[in-house]
Structure 1
Amino acid sequence: MRAFVLLVAFLIGFASPTRAADDVAAVQGVIRSQVEAFGRDDAAAAYSYAAPAIRDLFPQADIFMDMVRRSYAPVYRHRSFEFGEARVSNGIIAQRVHIIDTDGVPWEALYTLELEPDGSVKISGCVLLKAGQAV
């Protein structure tokens, strides 16, 4: 019986990191897809990755896209976009992204994403700071 408990504990220990890795891969795919939609100026596609709370704030795709252009220019257009550290906790995923904007200025973005009842992952927020600034 003791060996069985140890085996179950061992398997659970391996299951959690795999699930977290799957969550991180899904999150990065959602962020990448939204950024690609920004690059094509595809407001409808970019908007489709926004969580319901974001959609409530910006009830139309063109309003959302205008906000991104004005307030998140380094996300909207950039030279490089590289994923950093990710954390998963209580259904919320935080993903750090290192960005170099079109002028060569480094930025840090911290995305938050949430798992929706239908199983999809949606972007619930993004904090953008010039690299080196305190949060």
Structure 2
Amino acid sequence: MRSIGIPTIALLLGLIATSVRADVDTPNSERQAIIGVILAQVEAFASDDAERAWGLASDAVQQRFGSPEVFVGMVRSEYPAIYGAESLEFLEPIPHPGFLIQPVFLRGPDGHYWDAYYRMSWQDGTWRIAGVTLKRAEAGI
């Protein structure tokens, strides 16, 4: 598991490859690339950079929403926990034929915890975010 606070994201983005599959046979390089894409989008939301957040979404997501402004407006209103995430913890990815699910445990701006499941797709030589399912995390011990 990996936990990251939002203020450290800018530093991490310089360390994580986000646009190249360095070694297809190395799951760790794939995982680092996927984490880098998710972190880059969360950082883009945090800095209100609609173009950057939009550029990390899959073609299907872009076609559905039509513009960066509409996309970011939807995330801001429908996924405030992601838009204003205060911390992220990356869990083990779940591979599927043709895509991958990256589970993320996060704390939203309201202090509540959430389970986010990012659907990641490989297109145009990079990982892109094809969707997110978000649900409130179960209270635990």
Using structure 2 for the length normalisation, give the TM-score: 0.77
> Which one has a bigger Cα radius of gyration?
1
Percent identity over paired residues: 34
Gaps in structure 1 of 5+ consecutive residues = 1-14
Residues 18-43 of structure 1: CA deviation (Å, up to 9, x unaligned): 52222111111000000000000000
Give the CA RMSD over aligned residues: 1.7
SS at structure 1 position matched to 2:119: strand
Aligned mates of 1:60, 1:102 — CA distance in 2: 25
Aligned mates of 1:108, 1:52 — CA distance in 2: 24
Say which is worse superposed, 100-109 or 58-67, in terms of deviation: 100-109
Residues 58-78 of structure 1: CA deviation (Å, up to 9, x unaligned): 110000000000111000002
Q: Report the structure, 1 or 2, having the larger helix content.
A: 1
Counterpart residue identity of residue 135, structure 2: L
The answer to whether 1:30 aligns with 2:47 is: no
Instruction: Identify which of 86, 95, 106 aligns with 2:102.
Output: 95
Residue-pair matches, total: 117
Aligned mates of 1:21, 1:94 — CA distance in 2: 15
Residues 82-111 of structure 1: CA deviation (Å, up to 9, x unaligned): 211212232311101111112211101000
Aligned mates of 2:58, 2:112 — CA distance in 1: 28
Q: Relative CO higher for 1 or 2, CA cutoff 8 Å, sep ≥ 6?
A: 2
Alignment of 1:59-78 (within 5 A): 59-78=66-85
Segments of 4+ in structure 1 off by > 4 A? none
Using structure 1 for the length normalisation, give the TM-score: 0.80
The equivalent residue for 1:125 is 131
Alignment of 1:31-70 (within 5 A): 31-70=38-77
